[in-house]
Amino acid sequence: MSSGSLAMTDVQVKTADLTVDSGSAEISNLTADQWNVHASSGSVHGSRIHAETTVAADSGSVKLEHVTGKMHITADSGSVKLYKDDTTDTDIKADSGSVYVHLPSSFSGFLDLQADSGSIQAPDSKRDTKDLLKVRASSGSIVVEQG
């Protein structure tokens, strides 16, 4: 998509690739083995996503709600909000912007959090399982909540 807005609902595919040059994309009820998103400028909002997900955002916001599957998110500039419904591994890198992650109460793995310039608020890492939440923020805060 070059510019404008895109909305997709009730999508079931093996692999989904989405490129947003400018504007916004809203995806809900996506089931796939793999979902790949590249956003140059603008926002990406996903809800009820069931896929291994890779998001690369150059500028803008990323908000993913009620998601399951491994998550790999990189954001050069902008905020990341992630609401996980499962305990699969998650890796987030943000150069400039805040990161918010909400984990299910069943998550009892490792929290590997590092903010070079900014604050970190998170529950204690339980380390009972091998599940991993890894977040790196160069400039910005990290907030992790669970429940």
Mean pLDDT of the chain: 94
Domain that holds residue 75: 5-146
pLDDT tens column, 56-81? 999 989 999 999 999 999 999 989 99
Question: Residues 34, 35, 40, 45: what is their CA dihedral angle, to the nearest 10 degrees?
Answer: -160
Span 29-47, mean pLDDT? 94
CA–CA distance from 146 to each of 70, 76, 83 (Å)?
17, 26, 10
Distances (CA, A) of 86 to 11, 38, 48, 117, 125: 20, 23, 12, 29, 16
Q: Residue 98 burial by CB count (10 A; 0-12/13-18/19+): exposed, middle or buried?
A: buried
In the chain, the number of structural domains is: 1
Q: According to the model, what pLDDT value does residue 60 have?
A: 84
Instruction: Using the predicted structure, report yes or no on whether residue 4 has a pLDDT greater than 80.
Output: no
Phi/psi for 10 (5° steps) reads 55, 65
d(CA 6, CA 28): 11
Residue 147 scores a pLDDT above 60:
yes
Give the per-residue pLDDT at 1.
Answer: 57
CA dist 124 and 53 (Å) reads 26
Segment 75-130, tens digit of pLDDT: 999 899 999 999 999 999 999 999 999 999 999 999 999 999 999 999 999 999 99
Q: What is the model's pLDDT at position 21?
A: 86
